[in-house]
Amino acid sequence: MADGWRDTTAPTGCAWEMLAPGPQLAQALHATDPATLGDAERVSYLAASDRLAGWVHVVQDRALTAVSDAVEVATAGERGSASLTRTWVADEVAAVLHISARTATRRVNAAIAVVRDWPQLGQHVAAGGLTVAQAREIYEGVAVLAGHLDDQGEDLSDVAVRDLIRIAPPLPPARLRERVARHVASLDPTAAARRRRRAERDFTDVSLWAEPDGMACLAARGPAIDAIAVRECVDARARMLRDSATTEDERTLGQWRHAAFLEAFGLTPSGRAVVHTSVATDTSPPGAVAPPHVQLRVTVPLTTLLALADSPAEIEGYGPIDAELTRALAADAEWIRWVTDPVGDYLIDEGTRRFPGARLARFLRAREGRCKHPSCGVRSRHCDADHLPAYAAAGRTAATTMSPTCPRHNRHREASRWTVQEEGPQDPYGPPDPVWISTLGRRYQTTVPPAIPLDYVPLRT
């Protein structure tokens, strides 16, 4: 989905828009049937109910923390380790809430995180400034920093929480998770590299487990760079197999990926015919198919390459990787340079032609990693080069008037009644930055994602 977005809709004047989450907001919502409201008021009601749900969630978190404290006090005289005490807490919570002990443990740990460990998270959720999901991404991500101090003696997890609360509100959980990982790696790059090496040693494996309806899942866990390379090879080979198959073969792309994976080991899917493709070599006849070429895109700050800073790089399709691994990868790589600062002229402008050329389309997908629509997460490699606003209104095919938008949100925008509206001033060197207007009239301003969001830059001394 977009890197983030802000709701810029004008207030409707409904009472719940002026109320902080709490009993008064609950009463105002309870007194109104949303089915009787107009379109704009219904969406406003939904937003208010979500803020109230966050407040209720923190109320329950306080209750869970209080129950946990009470059980620990009640069993303080008994012999047993701290882990045994936690099981007694889980038993108490599981019994009253009719959940498993494992689920109870997770809920108690989450409650302690926002009530005691990082209370500012709970405060922001209760006030409606953060969603429960956003808070969860933050405390789960920064937990590895707890107990590590910065040069001023402050716990690094507290530093990270304070910084992340500032940037979190416009970000959906998936994008926030990436920013949290980047921030954690930036605050303690040495520890990030150490955790990666330990994870490679302890968790690299291939596993199998059964699933319903005669299915099973074979999972390979290993270094992200290896996993992404394999996935790209499988996907490229699957598309070659699909293109070589007969028209009667109606397998989905997922089934073709499975076939491509088996083919690597000399196997074919059970009950399926073998699909032959001719692979091109230096002596191949015309018409032979070249083997798949895999290109992994890693975006890295120049300061990291020059060892002036330890800011993480970004692997497309995965997220941030630590500086140590980044420099190791950079030692054996083919580079494509993109200048991210204005250099005195429009980077690419193709005038009034309807469709962009390959160079412009490649640049658009490199500049913005995902579909521009607020609710969409489709990666730009699978997106159309879309005029925002529409070509009929924008007039030119240029980097400043186009962004990647997935086929659904591009080709069906008119049918869905979503529209875009440019509200200047626009960066003369940047991408279009329109307001998206939803089916029911809600207005959303998406944020333009930087190539690398450097929320924190640890310069070397």
Structure confidence by residue, pLDDT tens digits, 30-78: 999 999 999 999 999 999 999 999 999 999 999 999 999 999 999 887 7
> Can you give the pLDDT at residue 287?
46
* Tens-digit pLDDT profile for residues 232-263: 899 999 999 999 888 889 999 999 999 999 99
The arrangement of strands across the sheet holding 435-437 comes to 5-7, 443-446, 435-437, 419-421
Q: Token pair of 102, please?
A: 């494992």
- Comparing CA positions, the residue from 329, 325, 323 lying closest to residue 309 is 323
Q: Which amino acid is at 193?
A: A
Q: Are 164 and 179 in contact (CB under 8 A)?
A: yes
Residue 167 has pLDDT above 90, yes or no: yes
- For residue 129, give the 3-state DSSP assignment: coil
pLDDT at 421: 87
Q: Is the separation of the CB atoms in 114 and 125 below 8 Å?
A: yes
Is residue 316 within 8 Å of 344, Cβ to Cβ? no
pLDDT at residue 345 in the model = 44
The DSSP line for 179-227 is HHHHHHHHH-HHHHHHHHHHHHHHH-EEEEEEETTTEEEEEEE--HHHH
- Is a pLDDT exceeding 60 seen at residue 353? yes
Give tens-digit pLDDT for 82-113.
778 889 999 999 999 999 999 999 999 999 99
For the chain, give the mean pLDDT: 87
CA dist 180 and 166 (Å) reads: 12
User: How far is the C-alpha of 91 from the C-alpha of 105, rounded, in Å?
Assistant: 9
**Which whole-number Å values give the CA distances from 412 to 311, 393, 461, in the listed order?**
39, 17, 53
6-15, 201-210, 230-239, 341-350: which range is least confident on average?
341-350
* Amino acid at residue number 68: S
- pLDDT tens digit sequence for 123-134: 999 999 999 999
Confidence class of residue 291 from pLDDT cuts 50, 70 and 90? low
- DSSP symbols for 13-49: --GGGGSPTTHHHHHHHHT--GGGS-HHHHHHHHHHH
Residue 419, Ramachandran bin (φ over 0: left; ψ between -120 and 50: alpha; else beta): beta
pLDDT at 279: 54
Residue burial 123-159, b: 16+ Cβ < 10 Å; e: rest: ebbbebbbbbebbbbbbebbbbbeeeeeeeeebbbbb
Looking at residue 423, what is its pLDDT?
Answer: 75
Kindly list the distances between the CA atom of residue 176 and the CA atoms of 2, 68, 155, 314, in Å, as whole numbers in the listed order.
11, 30, 21, 14
157 vs 78, residue with greater confidence: 157
The terminus-to-terminus CA distance of the chain in angstroms comes to: 37
Give residue 328's pLDDT. 87
pLDDT tens digits along 369-415: 889 899 888 888 889 999 887 887 766 788 888 889 999 999 998 89
pLDDT at residue 342 is higher than 50:
no
**Per-residue pLDDT for 203 more than 90?**
yes
Q: What are residue 370's DSSP bridge partners?
A: 379
Share of the chain above pLDDT 70, in %: 86
What is the arithmetic mean of pLDDT over 225-235? 91
Among 14-28, 222-236, 273-287, 439-453, where is mean pLDDT lowest?
273-287
For residue 424, the model assigns a pLDDT of: 65
Cα–Cα dist 373/405, whole Å: 7
Q: How confident is the model at residue 429 (pLDDT cuts 50, 70, 90)?
A: low
Which pLDDT band, with edges at 50, 70 and 90, does 162 fall under? very high
Q: Is residue 222 exposed (0-12), middle (13-18) or buried (19+ Cβ within 10 Å)?
A: middle
Sign of CA dihedral 395, 397, 403, 405: positive
Output the pLDDT for position 336.
65
Provide the pLDDT for residue 343: 44
